[in-house]
Chain A
């Protein structure tokens, strides 16, 4: 019956917001997400009740990332922007050059084994500095696992927040990045600029 009057989008927006709030209150919001604009394009932010579980660039296809979260974390996924206000605020401050480290609860459940070791050592590279893949391998305790470090950085579930962009080639060129080479340069430039000004 297409001739029934259609429902108003504003009603659905309001109902959706209330649903997300009630789901969170009832412990049913396993994955809350939102997107934010940034100098490196739209970023998808997703969190569990434990903490931030995923940051993804537009080039990584946000729909595909959400589908992956639904199968690896939980299908109870809802858009709930206000649940990520703190993350959005810290990212804003970072991109504005007013923040050099992140102070957010993280959920590292997507990380296992050596990849986890590598990613957890990323914050050892200070803001405005870089390390080579080989140096990173040493920091993670396996000096010869240079290629595996590259893989770990490429699959980092929390880019920007855990700064895999600070890992560069031994010759100093930026190298690959999940968000694209241009995004990596943007982040390195930002940190160099802010670091010099400080």
Chain B
């Protein structure tokens, strides 16, 4: 019988990954909400999670649903005048450059890059979340990363 770990360990092991995914998908401003909603929902259903489940994939899946909720909520409350793209690059310039570059990607590319490259989800699972085939998800991720290489060249410098 495999023993279920205290939820605290789930937060400490996966908290940073889920926050990266949330920031990539909904942007740094709404990411805190998405993170909190994700872990609160995860805590609620944790006792029912099969002990052999892939916890990180499970969390990324919840994060995806919470991100959709947040984007929908924002859309309902959006003022017609307020258009987001030109968020002023304040304080931590480098991070904001990245988040702006991510925000500029088409939604599907942004999701696929976040879930696969940040969340570690295999393309099959990514496709199940965002729709389409695994091959299409792989192409979208590759297109997204190619665009990021142009719009956020620091990616390649930091890779080494």
Contacts and interface: CB of A to CB of B under 8 A. Distances in A.
Nearest to B10: A75
Interface string B17-51: 00110011000000010011001100110110000
Given A4-B98, A5-B94, A5-B95, A23 B15 contact: no
A31 B40 contact: no
A15 B22 CA distance: 13
B6 interface: yes
Contacts, number: 89
Contacts of A69: 6
B6 A66 contact: yes
Q: How large is the interface on B (under 10, 10 to 19, 20 to 34, 35 or more residues)?
A: 20 to 34
A23 B40 contact: yes
A78 B7 contact: yes
Given A15-B35, A77-B7, A78-B11, A6 B16 contact: yes
Given A3-B158, A67-B5, A23 B43 contact: yes
SS class of chain B's interface: helix, strand, loop or mixed?
A: helix
B3 interface: yes
A197 interface: no
Identify which of A1, A26, A77 gathers the most chain B CB atoms within 10 Å of its CB: A1
Nearest to B96: A5
Interface string A72-110: 001111110000000000000000000000000000000
A134 to B, nearest CB: 38
B72 interface: no
Of A3, A76, A78, most buried by chain B (CB within 10 Å of CB) is A3
A144 B156 CA distance: 75
B8 interface: yes
Interface string A18-39: 1100110010100101000000
Interface of B: 3-8, 11, 15-16, 19-20, 23-24, 32, 35-36, 39-40, 43-44, 46-47, 94-95, 98, 113, 117-118, 154-159
